């Protein structure tokens, strides 16, 4: 967590840029749900009812998706595509937050809004912070690669990734701990708050 806070503190312009993307994406997610056809909204409502009734029976599993996403972003950063991919993926994750808020608020009113915020805090917000950090690292890697290409520096890719590889391992470990917590406790926390949806 300290690693993420330090990165945010040292990259204020990046944080402002990402925060802007975050807000735009959340708003876009809300509008995207509102613009859906009534048939689709009704289907979503039915799925939502099943979800709320089975909270105590299901587990929320993001482990494989999150780890693969982090690895893909870092791998693509070698080809300078990682930066673009991380922005698009960050936009997508932020948009889903807006979509979730809209779904619960539309179906359950203010109590649904409160539940959606609890859901986001329990399952998504930490990963969003990690994406903030990933973006800063990817930008740093790409800057070094571009600098080396322009200046014909002798610094190898190996030395560029040497410092970030350790951070990547630590990040994956933290992410796994967070996702394991969500897997074992996430649905229980949401089930305790399910009275908001009744």
Distance CA 190, CA 29 (A): 22
Higher pLDDT, 173 or 77: 173
Q: What pLDDT, on a 0 to 100 scale, did the predictor assign at position 10?
A: 62
Kindly calculate the radius of gyration of the chain based on its CA atoms and give it in whole angstroms: 19
Closest CA to 100 of 22, 26, 6: 26
Round to whole Å and give the CA distance between 77 and 15: 19
* Mean pLDDT taken over the chain: 85
pLDDT for 4 beyond 60: no
pLDDT digits (tens, 9 = 90+) for 81-130: 777 888 899 999 999 999 999 999 999 999 999 999 999 999 999 999 88
Q: Count of residues for the chain?
A: 198
Per-residue pLDDT at 49: 84
In percent, the amount of the chain with pLDDT more than 90 equals 43
- Contact at 8 Å (CB) between 120 and 97? yes
pLDDT value of position 178: 92
Instruction: Give this prediction's pTM.
Output: 0.86
Distances in Å between the alpha carbon of 27 and those of 12, 32, 95?
22, 8, 7
What confidence category does residue 147 fall into, taking pLDDT thresholds of 50, 70 and 90? Answer: confident
More confident residue, 181 or 4: 181
Among 103, 102, 96, 104, which residue's Cα sits nearest to residue 131? Answer: 96
Span 130-144, average pLDDT = 79
Q: Looking at the predicted structure, is the pLDDT value of residue 74 above 60?
A: yes
Pick the closest to residue 187 from 52, 47, 69 (CA basis). 52
DSSP helix/strand/coil, 143: helix
User: Residue 173 contacts by C-beta under 8 Å, 6 or more apart in sequence?
Assistant: none
Q: What is the pLDDT, as a whole number, of residue 185?
A: 92
For residue 66, give both structure tokens.
Answer: 């999150």
pLDDT at 172 exceeding the cut of 70: yes
* DSSP for 9-40, written as a single string: HH-HHHHHHHHHHHHHHHHHHHHHHHTS-HHH
- Residue whose entry in the numeric block shows the structure tokens 């990259």: 11
Comparing 83 with 20, the larger pLDDT belongs to 20
Q: Over 60: is that where the pLDDT of 64 sits? A: yes
pLDDT above 70 for 156: no
């Amino acid at each position: 967590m300290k690693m993420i806070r330090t990165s945010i503190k040292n990259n204020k312009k990046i944080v402002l840029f990402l925060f802007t993307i975050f807000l735009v994406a959340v708003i876009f997610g809300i509008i995207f749900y509102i613009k859906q056809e009534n048939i689709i909204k009704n289907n979503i409502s039915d799925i939502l009812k099943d979800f709320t009734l089975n909270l105590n029976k299901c587990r929320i599993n993001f482990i494989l998706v999150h780890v693969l996403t982090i690895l893909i972003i870092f791998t693509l950063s070698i080809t300078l595509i990682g930066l673009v991919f991380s922005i698009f993926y960050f936009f997508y994750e932020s948009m889903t937050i807006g979509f979730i808020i809209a779904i619960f608020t539309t179906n359950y009113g203010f109590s649904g809004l409160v539940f959606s915020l609890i859901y986001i805090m329990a399952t998504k917000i930490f990963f969003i912070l990690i994406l903030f950090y990933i973006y800063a690292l990817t930008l740093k890697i790409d800057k070094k690669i571009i600098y080396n290409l322009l200046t014909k520096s002798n610094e190898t890719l190996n030395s560029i990734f040497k410092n970030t590889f350790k951070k990547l391992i630590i990040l994956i470990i933290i992410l796994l701990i967070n996702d394991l917590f969500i897997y074992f406790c996430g649905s229980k926390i949401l089930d305790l708050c399910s009275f908001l949806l009744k």
